[in-house]
Structure 1
Amino acid sequence: MARVRDNIKAMTPYNPPLEGRSAKGYLLLDFNEMTIETSPKVRQALHDFVDSKRVQVYPEYGDLNEVIASYAGVKPEEILVVNGSDQGIDVVMRAFVEKGDRVIIPSPSFAMEYQSALVQGAEIIKPEYQGPSLSFPLEEVLGLLDSSPKLFVLCNPNNPTGGDISMEDVQRILKRAKEKDVVVLHDEAYFEFSGITAKDFIKEFDNLCITRTLSKQFGLASVRAGYVISQTQNIQEFMKIRGPYDVNMFAKTAIVAALADLPYFERYIAEVMREAKPKVEEFFRAKGVKFYPGVANFLLVEPKEPEKLIKNLQEQGILVRPREDPPGTVRISIGTLQDTERLILAYSRAMGWS
């Protein structure tokens, strides 16, 4: 075969357990997706697009940047629409990171951040979240910024722990990073659930790039929709990397319809974060199940017999996500109150409590 780069040959594919999960009627609590359908207005807009006889035509984006910018509270020229936030992460990596560069990723973190860095041939530095509560290693990170890295990745809230880093600490990191000419990638995949964003730092810090998704909180995972926020000069460089048609018209149509129907999604998010999640946490506390408190739509749990739990929940029609880092943990997405009641009953049966 043709010669493939050595760093690519040394990698393994990122193969999340996706196949077959949506066809068997499972309650999907494994990928932090919306557990109900996306809004009727989004579904109708997609139907209308299919019926418009324009599927065969290359995409036209119109005022898509303006629509997203208005929602995000930034300027249209500070937005790059991408094929899911995975592509946003990849574009930022490709823009700044070359073979042999150091990339700092506090760990554990989202798998695609490592994958994109490895594709570039980067050396990944992994300061570990610390102690029994998996606290963010702030002082270690600030010290590592003196070691000439090219890029620092901050998943905030963190996936898989769900923990957050305060904006005061993010600002400290940004200041130190700017002094050292280090780019900061702030992954805000769970912004709508947590309210956490570094968006207000965009004007001050030209080394800040924010990635967001519309997959989880807007129910658009299958159409692949996300965006990058950064200063205009950065966005102009990123446009040289993203292809002109990388964002398809199904995604464009769905984004516009979703952002025009915010109350639908806000009701879902409120139910998840204010009602369902506290109910799960209360159940775990009452049963002595160790979990890591977080600010996103999932919980990282440390059950006594994780493999048995996962298998038993699957037999009861519920999928959750096993984690190797931290070892012996399981990530459980939070859905509606109805989903939560089903989860609690199944978990109790799996552990022999009912």
Structure 2
Amino acid sequence: MLPFIREDLNQFEAYTPHPGGDSGSAVKSDLIMDRLDTNESPYDLPGELKQKLASIYQRDIETNRYPDGSHEPVKKAIANYVNSAISEVSTPITADYVSVGNGSDELIRSLLIATCLNGSGSILVANPTFSMYAILAQTLGVPVVTVNRSEANFEIDLIAAKQAILDQQNPPIKVVFVVHPNSPTANALTEAELDWLRSLPQHILVVIDEAYFEFSQTTVAGEITQHPNWVILRTFSKAFRLASLRVGYAITSPELTTILEKVRLPYNLPSFSQEAALLALTHREELQQVIPEIIRERDRLWTRLANHPLFKFWPSDANFIYGRLKSNNSDQRLNQIVQAMKSQGSLIRHTGGGLRITIGTPAENKRTGDRLFSLIDN
């Protein structure tokens, strides 16, 4: 350990991208890999939109100039999109309610900086869930309080969560992170969970991550003006097919967006990423035409795997499905399965005590289903 590095960092593990197994494992060089381990869209931007984006780059972007640090055009376009998906808008969302980040990860980090540094607060998460909440908190020296989820349907243990908020006093819980629907378990928040979030006092920040909103079509954005202690996170990495360009956004009160502007890095979102987000929103109907197909494929794969003799897979509200072994659901056995799938050409994710499988193209889903059933004979 380098003597000038914080000692606690030696205990942490970094987030591992594309964790489809050990990169040193022997895989046939001519094998086409089905990358179903990172919840991306299986479809790239259409060629004509790539050409439009290339034209915008050539015509409008000066690479010697900093990007627009205000993000104003992007925030206005996002606000219009958010309003279009809310059935009843008593108070329309404006650009003042939107903050833009280099992926949702940057926004999570900014929220932690704004609330919990210097021993002023801790966070609450219900495992299994998106690991970056805890990873980012730990890198900032912020304590992480965890509660469990129901083994039956992965609903948060609300009794334990309420008790944790009462018990954790030094430092107190300042932020509650939830995903709607959750990753990796793919279940949307229940009405009981939402009622609990609505009941939390104003001194606790509630972060509701809607990264998979376009697939679940379930949102609480219509309530954001009623809850000044709420933040909704979303991303362009999933349904909008811009994972490589790292555009995330937060919907929250203008007062909190002002704070986020204070703690974010200047010029945090490159010009090309901003233009891509604007283009994606302009052509959102075209880009989202594949969502019904992805949902049909999700349900088809889940129905098929629901009959798997080795696994239990749960219904999904997202663009992935989650399952666990019915017996011997050990990390070692799950790692073996991930490696076996990789050797055949399917990358899937071992996370949260189970396996998460992103929905790909029909051909990718069929091959992956076939390979999972072939494990029976191994």
* TM-score, structure 1 normalization: 0.90
Aligned in 2, Cα 1:339/1:94: closer, same or farther, shift over 3 Å? same
Distance in 2 (alpha carbons) for counterparts of 1:24 and 1:251: 32
- The answer on whether the counterparts of 1:279 and 1:340 sit within 8 Å (CA) in structure 2 is no
- The answer on whether the counterparts of 1:142 and 1:176 sit within 8 Å (CA) in structure 2 is no
Alignment partner, residue 57 of structure 1: 65
1:84 aligns with 2:94: no
Q: 2:278 aligns with which of 250, 253, 256?
A: 256
Distance in 1 (alpha carbons) for counterparts of 2:312 and 2:297: 18
1:281 aligns with 2:302: yes
1:228 deviates by: 0.8
Alignment partner, residue 356 of structure 2: 331
1:123 deviates by: 1.6
SS of alignment partner, residue 207 of structure 2: strand
Alignment partner, residue 188 of structure 2: 164
1:317 aligns with 2:345: yes
Distance in 2 (alpha carbons) for counterparts of 1:176 and 1:202: 14
CA-based RMSD of the aligned residues comes to: 2.4
User: Could you list the per-position Cα deviations for residues 131-182 of structure 1 after superposition, in whole angstroms to 9, with x for gaps in the alignment?
Assistant: 333332123223333343111111221111111213553243232232xx11
- The answer on whether the counterparts of 2:155 and 2:190 sit within 8 Å (CA) in structure 1 is no
1:174-323 alignment, distance < 5 Å: 174-178=198-202, 181-273=203-295, 275-288=296-309, 289-303=311-325, 305-323=333-351
- The answer on whether the counterparts of 2:124 and 2:173 sit within 8 Å (CA) in structure 1 is yes
1:62 deviates by: 5.1
Aligned in 2, Cα 1:128/1:109: closer, same or farther, shift over 3 Å? same
2:374 is aligned with what amino acid?
A: R
Aligned in 2, Cα 1:201/1:163: closer, same or farther, shift over 3 Å? same
1:188 deviates by: 1.2
Aligned in 2, Cα 1:122/1:307: closer, same or farther, shift over 3 Å? closer
Aligned in 2, Cα 1:313/1:8: closer, same or farther, shift over 3 Å? closer
Distance in 1 (alpha carbons) for counterparts of 2:344 and 2:81: 40
Which moved further from structure 2: 299-308 or 90-99?
299-308
1:277 is aligned with what amino acid?
A: R
Distance in 1 (alpha carbons) for counterparts of 2:40 and 2:105: 15
Distance in 2 (alpha carbons) for counterparts of 1:90 and 1:312: 36
SS of alignment partner, residue 145 of structure 1: helix
SS of alignment partner, residue 332 of structure 1: strand
SS of alignment partner, residue 317 of structure 2: coil
- The answer on whether the counterparts of 1:103 and 1:124 sit within 8 Å (CA) in structure 2 is yes
1:314 deviates by: 1.6
2:55 is aligned with what amino acid?
A: D
User: Could you list the per-position Cα deviations for residues 72-115 of structure 1 after superposition, in whole angstroms to 9, with x for gaps in the alignment?
Assistant: 12211100111011111111111111243221111111111001
Alignment partner, residue 47 of structure 2: 40
Structure 1 consecutive aligned stretches of length 4 or more whose deviation exceeds 4 Å: 18-21
SS of alignment partner, residue 125 of structure 1: strand
- The answer on whether the counterparts of 2:124 and 2:177 sit within 8 Å (CA) in structure 1 is yes
2:41 is aligned with what amino acid?
A: M
Alignment partner, residue 340 of structure 1: 365
Count how many residue pairs are aligned between Structure 1 and Structure 2. Answer: 346
- The answer on whether the counterparts of 2:76 and 2:95 sit within 8 Å (CA) in structure 1 is yes
Alignment partner, residue 330 of structure 2: none
Alignment partner, residue 12 of structure 1: 13
SS of alignment partner, residue 38 of structure 1: coil
Segments of 5+ residues of structure 2 without an aligned counterpart are 84-92, 328-332
Distance in 1 (alpha carbons) for counterparts of 2:274 and 2:3: 37
Aligned in 2, Cα 1:263/1:40: closer, same or farther, shift over 3 Å? farther
Which moved further from structure 2: 146-155 or 11-20?
11-20
Distance in 2 (alpha carbons) for counterparts of 1:352 and 1:9: 41
